[in-house]
Each structure stands twice: as structure tokens, then as C-alpha cells.
Amino acid sequence: MQQTYLWLANFAQSIGMLYFIGIFLAVVVYAFWPGNRDRFEAAARLPLSED
């Protein structure tokens, strides 16, 4: 029983780490994708605009 729990806990931690690394890489790729530049520049100027 103890051996099964330890194996399962280690497996879950490894998969969780890979999951969060994948999410992080996806966010970085999205942020630096050339097609998103105009959208991010418009969002950066939004607080300075006077409506």
C-alpha cells in the first residue's frame, strides 16, 4: 500500500510539473507571437487614452 501511494504521488507530481511547464511555454509563445503585437500595443496605450 505504501509503495503504491509513493509511486502514485511521484507520478502525479511529475505530470503536474510537465503540465505547468507546458502552460508556461504556451503563454510565452502567445505573448511573443508576432501577430499579437498590435493587440498588445493597443492594450498598453489604453490607460493613456482620454475618452
What whole-number distance in Å separates Cα of residue 9 and Cα of residue 12? 5
What whole-number distance in Å separates Cα of residue 14 and Cα of residue 1? 20
pLDDT per position as a tens digit, 11-49: 999 999 999 999 999 999 999 999 999 999 999 999 988
Looking at residue 2, its pLDDT comes to 77
Helix, strand, coil shares, percent, the chain, to 5? 90, 0, 10
Question: 33 in helix, strand or coil?
Answer: coil
Domain ranges of the chain: 20-46
pTM above threshold 0.75: no
Amino acid at 25: L
